[in-house]
Amino acid sequence: MAHAPGGPAAFPGPGATGGPRLPRPAAEAPGRTGTAAPAEGAGRAWPATVADGSAPAWADTVVLAEAIAGAETVAVTLPGPAAGPPGEAARPGGGRADARRAARRRRVTDRPDALRRLLPQALVVAFLAGGTSAFVADDKAIELSVDGHPRTLHTFADDVTELLDDQGVEVGPHDVVAPAPGTPLADGDEVAVRYGRPLGLTLDGTRRQVWTTGDTVEEALRQLGVRAEGAYLSASRSRTIGRAGLEIDVRTERTVTIMADGRARTIRTNAASVGEAVEAAGVTLHGQDTTSVPAGSFPRDGQTVTVLRITGTREVREEPIPFEVRRRDDATLFRGTEVVERPGRPGARRVTYALRTVNGVRERPRRIRAEVVREPQDRLVRVGTKPRPASVGGADHLNWAGLAACESGGRPGAVDPSGTYGGLYQFDTRTWQALGGSGRPQDASAEEQTLRAKKLYVRRGAGPWPHCGARLHG
């Protein structure tokens, strides 16, 4: 639509250049023909004409606010200075003065109503604008790394604990979270989670259960402070450790000294046993050779192991087995008399000994086996219990001590050089037994020998003692 210079411009509706506008409520200019009526939802200009068909130069249209999502656009017309075409004078009864008065009336009546309509919409715009600013401010870009796998994400979480909960990341007592749970988050922060893994570690022969956040064998050993240089590992250093864990055997390098054949050999080894360490030192064991510590034991750092060169033989010896003496009472013998009924005989035992030489030094023989080749025979002795007679008639008054001194020097166990005669009175065995004696005379007591001598004197006189018999009466 064309307007005269100084007249109001047309505000296009939605979709037209210049954007939507808020329609002004209909108002009629006093003293002018024509109307100003809004078209709902359309972007038409507010038509205002004077009697001659020209647009009023005093009308200015001001856009105050804009609703969101299809709200109305309200245009408020404010009166401008009353100015007509150049050279035009005010017409009586309805000229420019009337137009100015009508414009002032409309300004007074329309402005509060328009402002009242604009205020709620302006508040909505301000609320939504503020809410959007707060929404954008709470959004944070965080880099989350779980077991070495990083990813960048946007979150509204306030702290690390809330972030992990939102992402479904569960952590246990052996897991590591950095920064710690509960730490506040800011835009651009990094959060790392490393899961703990059980490790069955056998270190130098000693097994223990530990936890590590390393995901490879090399990283786990480094965390645990295990020196892996030169060590034996049952799994490669680059092997991945799963969440279920791993069993690993580690033998670190140790210093061991091997003493063999008069020479010391010090080596660095990760051997699993003393026997392996000895072999690694170039020492060979032969026959009965052994080591000062068990060959299957674990070699310790700084340990000294001595190799024992052993040569050995066996020796068989026959050893006697002593016999026992058994005594039994005999009522036919006078008390104090003992007679050997059966002499004892020792037995024999065959014993095998191990003779060993260690590094040239002969050790004490070690008994390894024994067998009896002959059982011993006990000695049997009869012991007299018969009471002795008080005397022998016709012989008690004689000098028996003198006779004994002459025959045997007064010794009850005396035996002549030929072995035929024995005792105090030098009886032969046949005579002794004929007088009631048992065994040998020299084995009987002095009292029994004197008793038998008296009986012999009663029978035969002093004849049995041709050289000393005279002492009986002297």
Nearest to 8, CA basis, from 52, 63, 45, 53: 45
How many Cα atoms within 13 Å fall on the side-chain side of residue 294?
4
Q: Are residues 133 and 1 in the same domain?
A: yes
Look at the pTM and tell me if it is higher than 0.75. no
Where b means 16+ CB within 10 Å and e means fewer, 64-88 reads: bbbbeeeebbbbbbebbebebeeee
| Residue span of the structural domain in which 320 resides | 313-382
Last residue of a domain, one of 382, 402, 435: 382
Q: Are residues 203 and 272 in the same domain?
A: no
pLDDT at 118: 56
Return all residues near 27 (Cβ < 8 A) that are at least 6 apart: 36, 77, 106, 110
CATH code at position 405 = 1.10.530.10
Q: Are residues 27 and 101 in the same domain?
A: yes
Among the residues of 358-443, which ranges form H helices? 400-408, 429-434
pLDDT at 392: 78
Last residue of a domain, one of 228, 251, 274: 251
- Domain total for the chain? 6
Q: Are residues 152 and 170 in the same domain?
A: yes
CATH code at position 346 = 2.20.230.10
Q: Are residues 75 and 107 in the same domain?
A: yes
CB 406 within 8 A of CB 469: no
Return d(Cα 167, Cα 157) in angstroms, integer.
Answer: 10
Q: Are residues 242 and 349 in the same domain?
A: no
Last residue of a domain, one of 358, 382, 406: 382
> What tokens does 6 get?
């100084």
Return d(Cα 99, Cα 214) in angstroms, integer.
Answer: 90
Beta bridge partners of 251: 232
Q: Are residues 347 and 318 in the same domain?
A: yes
pLDDT at 10: 36
Q: Are residues 6 and 110 in the same domain?
A: yes
Q: Digits of tens for pLDDT over the chain (474 positions)?
A: 433 334 333 333 333 333 433 344 443 334 333 333 443 433 334 344 444 444 444 333 333 333 333 433 334 344 444 444 444 444 444 454 556 556 556 554 555 555 455 555 655 445 455 554 445 557 999 999 998 899 999 999 999 999 999 999 999 999 999 999 999 999 999 999 999 999 999 998 899 999 999 889 999 999 999 988 889 999 999 999 998 999 999 999 999 999 999 999 999 999 999 999 999 999 999 998 999 999 999 999 999 999 999 998 999 999 999 999 999 999 888 787 788 999 999 999 999 999 999 998 999 999 999 999 999 999 999 998 988 776 777 788 899 999 999 999 999 999 999 999 999 999 999 999 998 888 899 999 998 899 899 999 988 888 999 999 999 987
pLDDT at 412: 93
Nearest to 379, CA basis, from 328, 313, 433, 310: 328
CATH code at position 220 = 3.10.20.30
pLDDT at 128: 52
pLDDT at 67: 35
pLDDT at 34: 39
